[in-house]
Chain A
Amino acid sequence: MTAPTLPGTSRAPRPGARLGVRGASNFGVTTGPARTRPPLWLLLLAAVCAAAAAIPLVYLVVRTTEAGLGELLDTLVRPRVLQLTLNSVLLAAAVTASTLLLGIASAWALTRLRLPAGRALLIVAALPLAVPSYLAAYGWLVWFPGLNGFWPAWFVMTAVCTPYVTLPVAAALRGASADLELVARTLGKGPLGAFRAATWPQIRPAAIAGGLLVALYSLSDFGLVAMLRFQTLTWGINAAYGASFDRNQAALLALVLVVLALVVVAGERRSRGQLDRSAGRTRPRPRAAGRLLVPALTVLLLAPLAGIAVPVFGLGSRLLEAATLRAIDVPRLVEAIGATLALALTAALVTALVALPIAALAARYRGRLVAMIEAVGFLGHALPGIVVGLSLVFFALAAVPALYQTSVVLVFAYVVLFMPRAIGSMRSGIAAVPGSLTDVSRMLGYSPLVTWWRVTARLALPAIGVGTLLVAISVMKELPATLLLRPTGISTLATELWGRTAVFEFGAAAPYAAALVLLAAVPTVLLSGIRGVAKEQS
């Protein structure tokens, strides 16, 4: 795949050569991936890293087999389980479809129209990433307490997830050749037809990769569906832990989620297709928005309004009517900010390191083994935090008891949970580095590792940065695994927020909610500013 995640991660495959359009290129003729078998060291390294992500799977299988076949079948055929599964699939599919539509339209407006304050609009479009889904849902409930069921869940989830599509597609569009669309128009296609024929193939990998993250996220989220009362598999999993203390049944339901996730990942891999990279490119020029201005702004602002503005005003109004608006415990707030930052930065760096070999492998090589390693790497994203948390409790106590309830295991959990966000973006960045350049480096006598470091890593650096920032944002917002695994006595902004809303202290919770959103907004703004492959701007 290419251009999986966020901004500027990559250049999408270009049908330029096919249509005979050639533009100036920095790289000359390139070759696609998958020319050779992967080197053993890379394969092994990636497999070891993927093994980390497989821990929850092992745990789930252990727990499920404990249940025995009879109980398994009994549980699986319950109409309720079928209903939960259908609801999960329905929500994931609907949210993916709507984020794709909204995200692609937003990205198109951001890159192809001259909009007032275009740079600021890009940041605004990215901002919903900074709002935890449970907070967004809560903010909506303040205004419309009766919201519940599929449609509200779909709507709010779409709002918070749209940036996962908007940002990578905007990046791909920025790199895509506009000439092709003109050629298509000259050949008699209408605007939409030309977009489909010329531009869509160039942004498709970015869009599909964004859609993958959205789909997995919608499958695994619990906070939002619990608030908006739409009963999905994660609801069932939490109920199995919470009311019945039936870990085996919870594990079984989580395995159903895993199967759904594997189907989604496999589907993405199929539709991502083979890279078709060519040299041609000219930079598109944004045109005056004209009568498109109002619709374009409407589309662009929909997700930020629904994902940020409405919830934040909702929280603010709760704050005003709350009696517990007591003096803010500043040292405690600062401590939570410090812990959140330290954990997020560490986890982001470690995750980047672990995701890199998998991304490098998936970007350059194909084959069943490669596909498997990549798919396993994505698993953590489809599982609710409580499952990943418990699996690491199980694993840490068995393997490294001395590290249990230390920040080491907690960081490890973040790696498992959020590796996919890093893999997606890095893979596209690495895939976008022309193979010819690495060939030249090899011919000049540099070893593969030196080549990798001096050529590939350097050119893919923006994409690697984006992946790392995405992980940092996600870690800041994470709650269930943090509650289970944090060192006793350590609080993050998310756990402090949870502790206060749990006892109705909305006033006392507000500073933590505000700090969390502001803190997560920093990497969000940063990543919306990262553009393209390093050389692209020259």
Chain B
Amino acid sequence: MRRSARFLALTAGVAVLALTGCSTPDAGDSTANGATAEADGTFTLYSGRDEALVQPLIDIFEEETGITVDVRYGNTAELGALLLEEGDRTPAQVFLAQDAGALGALSNADLFSTLPEATTSRVAAGFTSTDDTWVGVTGRARVIAYDGEALSLDEVPTSVDAFTDPEWNGRVGIAPTNASFQAFVTAYRVLNGEDAADEWVAALAANSPQIFDNNRAVLAAVNEGVVDTGLINHYYWFAQAAETGAENMRAQLAYPEAGDAGSIVNVTGAGILSGAEADADALEFVNFLVSERAQQYFVDETYEYPLIEGIDAPTGLPAIDSLVNSELDLADLDTLEVTQDLLAKHGLI
């Protein structure tokens, strides 16, 4: 219903535009400017997560609360750039992001308000922001995808260190411009030190890795037998398996041994933009995201790790504790720029 109302508004706007040349305000959407600060039964969400995965959850939220959510879907990186460009004039009240890097960039630009402790404390430290500007929602493990027809599980390295061996020359797929890959390299730096990281990145770059634009493309290539292994997030495998059937998946997943930088868990998360600090609707939605209902939804529908107590990880996945390196805190991963300089130095980005 609302969609068709919007569509009418669009058509009307376009018709008016066509008639007058250029400068008539579009009545249907003129609320765009300026965040509404108070609870008014509606708010705007920028979602860097896909519609097919998130909209059913939003429908539940709308039904339960009677709050209307206007959602703008896009990819996390572009919506992050959009929010930075909009600054305090954004029409959005909440940003739901696919990775912590984007949330950190907005936090650094002072675009987020501080969340109440009651909200942030639901998620264990290490999986959420350190200054309460955003809260972690789900976890995604870094994994090694391998071609199940070319390799058996015991042939797959248990540590990313092995991928610099000549044996793996040209046989590793990576997406170095991708935020989750960069978070992993940052973890490598934190765990092993700058010198070791420099050495590893240099050796990897010299080992003819196959470069892709994103995790999805890496997985597709492994699944087609184009490349033997790929460094991705676990969740992509389950998403593709849901489409084509798990039994038809040529790519399989191997989990690096606990403690290896290659096994870190990245989080998705949400924050409230600074103009909407007092918006109870926005806060209610963020609270909903870390409620048992929503967390269980993510476990069942997207095979991600829940981040609150009392919800079990999806069946078939190793326990999150077995992946996470206790010496590593997400807060240590905010030195993205150093990582990027490192990757740039060796020509990977």
Residues in chain A within 8 A of chain B (CB atoms) = 78-80, 83, 141, 145-146, 148, 226-227, 229, 231, 235, 238-239, 241-245, 247, 250, 321-324, 331-332, 335, 338-339, 342-343, 345-346, 349-350, 353, 386, 390, 393-394, 397, 400-408, 411-412, 480, 483-484, 487-490, 495, 499-500, 502-508
Known A406-B30, A499-B73, A503-B52: A489·B6 in contact at CB below 8 Å: yes
Closest to B183 in A: A243
Residues in chain B within 8 A of chain A (CB atoms) = 2-4, 6-7, 9-11, 13-15, 17-18, 21-26, 28-30, 32-34, 44, 50-53, 70-75, 77-78, 80-82, 84-87, 89, 91, 101-102, 105, 177-179, 182, 210-213, 216-217, 220-221, 224-226, 239-240, 242-245, 248, 336-337, 340, 344, 347, 349
Contact B244 A322 (CB under 8 A): yes
Can you identify 11 A-B contacts, CB atoms within 8 angstroms?
A229-B211, A247-B81, A322-B243, A345-B14, A386-B78, A393-B85, A402-B32, A412-B22, A480-B78, A487-B29, A489-B6
How far, in angstroms, from A148 to B211 measured CA to CA in the complex? 10
Known A231-B211, A490-B10: A405·B29 in contact at CB below 8 Å: yes
- Which residues of B have CB within 8 Å of A345? 14, 18
Known A342-B11, A503-B52, A503-B239: A488·B244 in contact at CB below 8 Å: no
What are the 6 closest A-B residue pairs judged by CB atoms, nearest first? A242-B77, A145-B224, A239-B177, A406-B26, A245-B105, A405-B32
Contact A402 B10 (CB under 8 A): no
How far, in angstroms, from A292 to B331 measured CA to CA in the complex? 70
Closest to A250 in B: B81
Known A247-B84, A404-B91: A241·B77 in contact at CB below 8 Å: yes
- Which residues of A have CB within 8 Å of B182? 243
Contact B225 A145 (CB under 8 A): yes
- Which residues of A have CB within 8 Å of B213? 226-227, 229, 235, 238
Contact B226 A146 (CB under 8 A): yes
Q: Is the interface of A mostly helix, strand, loop or mixed?
A: helix
Contact B179 A403 (CB under 8 A): no
Contact A504 B239 (CB under 8 A): yes
- Which residues of A have CB within 8 Å of B34? 401
Known A146-B226, A231-B211, A241-B81: A502·B10 in contact at CB below 8 Å: no
Nearest-Cβ distance from residue B138 to partner chain A, whole angstroms = 15
Interface centre among A80, A231, A407, A505 (most CB of B within 10 A): A407
Contact A487 B10 (CB under 8 A): yes
- Which residues of A have CB within 8 Å of B50? 499, 502-503
Contact A407 B344 (CB under 8 A): no
- Which residues of A have CB within 8 Å of B78? 241-242, 386, 480, 483-484
Contact A350 B22 (CB under 8 A): yes
How far, in angstroms, from A137 to B239 measured CA to CA in the complex? 22
Nearest-Cβ distance from residue A6 to partner chain B, whole angstroms = 23
How far, in angstroms, from A335 to B11 measured CA to CA in the complex? 11
Nearest-Cβ distance from residue B302 to partner chain A, whole angstroms = 9
How far, in angstroms, from A346 to B26 measured CA to CA in the complex? 14
How far, in angstroms, from A345 to B71 measured CA to CA in the complex? 26
Closest to B302 in A: A503
How far, in angstroms, from A78 to B84 measured CA to CA in the complex? 26
How far, in angstroms, from A498 to B85 measured CA to CA in the complex? 23
Nearest-Cβ distance from residue B125 to partner chain A, whole angstroms = 24
Contact B29 A335 (CB under 8 A): no
How far, in angstroms, from A244 to B185 measured CA to CA in the complex? 14
Nearest-Cβ distance from residue A422 to partner chain B, whole angstroms = 16
Contact A408 B24 (CB under 8 A): yes
Contact B7 A242 (CB under 8 A): no
- Which residues of A have CB within 8 Å of B17? 346, 350, 407-408, 411
